[in-house]
């Protein structure tokens, strides 16, 4: 029997990778639901190719266009996630949640009860709303698999040894400026910051990689997902991006989880969890890449964003929402050439140390709206230059 799956954010890079994997295993999987924000053209192409009967597209104009285009097709089109109970009448086998940004939080939480396994590739949802996600996972006995290459590697490497963890190291390529002299950081141009040496990613996450902010976010995710403290987590630069995580155990052993820079590997393994993975040449590894791993400690003068970890509370709080939202807006301003590269961190630290935001370290999000309203407020303050 084919396994039933849904893909939230099917027209993004993670979604497209998963679609490609499914296309090579058509006899094993049936797609029940696909979703997108605006890209109705690709969404419709995917639906036709895989005979998907249910689509959600959240942009109003795109919804109207898609509704017209599917008028005489056997396809149901919805404008939001409020009708999941009509689409998914029984628990399906697997959901990929890959909607980017905080827009992915509500859909992720809403769909948990409708699936046996949920793979989450949305870092903002985990960083800002992990306590809410975890409650839903426990309540509905849904299995969670992280998809980010670092967190999937930790998840895969831990097995039943969680209590033996001494230290976990996440690796960072160092982005395009690993070897750039410190004095040249203030003159960095947008086009240079977008030249990532290892990964092909969207603009926002590429800038986060260049500032090392992406790795700060991954440390927060790892702390929450694996219920660790920040002292158990650290970052190493590793230009080849071949090793994604190292787990140092109390018993003296170290596990190194490595694979090439291809997100299809963690995506495929999350989908094919407990299944036999067919031989695929794209999954093959170059073992000689392990000859010179070149791990180094982070240069905090060059990448001061990493120091922000010391400001974070040990408990889940709304402070993480301020961090994510402020960084989002500052990166947007850099991409629009309104601020310089080194001003991303300078403005971010200024915002996080403001008294009006500091109090949120002790506030735990009790509902999704707590997170979304605070995020909107932070963005408004920055856009209005009140900060």
| C-alpha separations of 66 from 46, 76, 81, 205, 375 in Å | 13, 10, 16, 29, 30
Task: Please report how many Cα atoms fall inside a 13 Å half-sphere around the Cα of residue 74, on the Cβ side.
Answer: 4
Q: According to the model, what pLDDT value does residue 386 have?
A: 72
Are 241 and 199 in contact by the 8 Å Cβ rule? The answer is: yes
Query: In angstroms, what CA-CA distances link 89 with 74, 85, 109, 159?
Result: 18, 6, 17, 33
Segments in the chain below pLDDT 50: 279
Decide the pairing of beta strands 243-249 and 254-258: antiparallel
What integer pLDDT is reported at residue 215 of this predicted model? 96
Query: What pLDDT digit, counting tens, does each position of 260-297 carry?
Result: 888 889 999 999 876 655 545 555 677 777 788 889 99
Taking the CA atoms of residue 303, residue 221, residue 297 and residue 201 in that order, the dihedral angle to the nearest 10 degrees is -60
Strand partners, 7: 34, 96
Across the chain, the runs of DSSP E, i.e. the strands, are: 3-8, 29-36, 54-57, 76-78, 94-97, 117-120, 143-146, 165-172, 233-237, 243-249, 254-258, 296-297
Common-topology check for domains 3-146 and 313-387: no
3-state class percentages of the chain: helix first, strand second, coil last, to nearest 5: 50, 15, 35
Sorted by sequence, the CB contacts under 8 Å of residue 214 that are 6+ apart come out as: 172, 205, 208
| Cα 88 to Cα 368: distance, rounded to the nearest angstrom | 22
Global pTM reads: 0.93
pLDDT for the residue 282: 58
β-pairing, 243-249 vs 165-172, is antiparallel
Residue 345 near residue 211 (C-beta atoms within 8 A):
yes
Which DSSP category does 7 fall into? E
Sheet holding 165-172, edge to edge: 254-258, 243-249, 165-172, 233-237, 296-297
Per-residue pLDDT at 289: 74
pLDDT attached to residue 279: 44
What token pair was written down for 180? 């750039």
In the chain, where are the structural domains located? Answer: 3-146, 158-259+288-309, 313-387
Give CA–CA dist 55/155, Å, rounded.
31
Task: Give the separation between CA 205 and CA 212, rounded to whole angstroms.
Answer: 10
Q: Tell me yes or no: is domain 313-387 CATH 1.10.10.
A: no
d(CA 379, CA 387): 10
Nearest to 370 by CA among 330, 294, 316: 316
**Topology of the domain covering 3-146:** Rossmann fold (3.40.50)
């Amino acid at each position: 029997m084919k396994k039933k799956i849904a893909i939230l954010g099917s027209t993004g890079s993670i979604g497209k990778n998963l679609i490609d994997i499914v296309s090579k295993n058509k006899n094993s999987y049936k797609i029940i639901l696909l979703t997108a924000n605006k890209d109705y053209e690709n969404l419709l192409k995917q639906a036709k190719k895989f005979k998907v009967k249910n689509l959600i597209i959240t942009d109003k104009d795109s919804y109207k266009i898609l509704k017209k285009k599917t008028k005489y097709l056997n396809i149901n089109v919805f404008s939001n996630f409020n009708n999941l109970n009509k689409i998914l009448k029984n628990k399906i086998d697997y959901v990929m949640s890959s909607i980017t940004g905080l827009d992915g939080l509500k859909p992720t939480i809403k769909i948990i009860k409708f699936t046996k396994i949920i793979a989450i590739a949305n870092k903002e949802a985990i960083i800002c709303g992990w306590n809410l996600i975890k409650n839903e996972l426990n309540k509905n006995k849904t299995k969670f698999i992280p998809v980010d290459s670092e967190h999937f590697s930790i998840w895969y490497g831990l097995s039943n040894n969680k209590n033996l963890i001494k230290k976990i190291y996440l690796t960072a390529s160092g982005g395009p400026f690993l070897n750039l002299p410190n004095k040249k950081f203030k003159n960095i141009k947008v086009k240079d910051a977008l030249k990532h040496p290892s990964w092909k990613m969207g603009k926002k996450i590429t800038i986060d990689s260049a500032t090392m902010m992406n790795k700060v976010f991954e440390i927060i995710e790892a702390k929450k997902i694996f219920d660790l403290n920040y002292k158990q987590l650290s970052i190493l630069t590793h230009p080849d991006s071949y090793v994604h995580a190292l787990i140092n155990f109390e018993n003296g052993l170290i596990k190194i989880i490595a694979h090439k820079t291809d997100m299809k590997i963690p995506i495929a393994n999350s989908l094919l969890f407990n299944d036999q993975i067919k031989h695929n040449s794209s999954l093959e590894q170059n073992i000689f890449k392990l000859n010179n791993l070149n791990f180094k400690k982070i240069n905090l003068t060059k990448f001061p964003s990493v120091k922000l970890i010391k400001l974070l509370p040990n408990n889940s709080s709304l402070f993480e929402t301020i961090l994510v939202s402020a960084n989002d807006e500052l990166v947007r301003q850099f991409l629009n050439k309104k601020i310089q590269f080194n001003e991303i961190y300078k403005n971010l630290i200024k915002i996080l140390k403001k008294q009006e935001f500091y109090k949120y370290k002790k506030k735990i999000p009790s509902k999704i709206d707590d997170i979304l309203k605070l995020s909107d407020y932070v963005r408004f303050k920055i856009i209005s230059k009140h900060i």
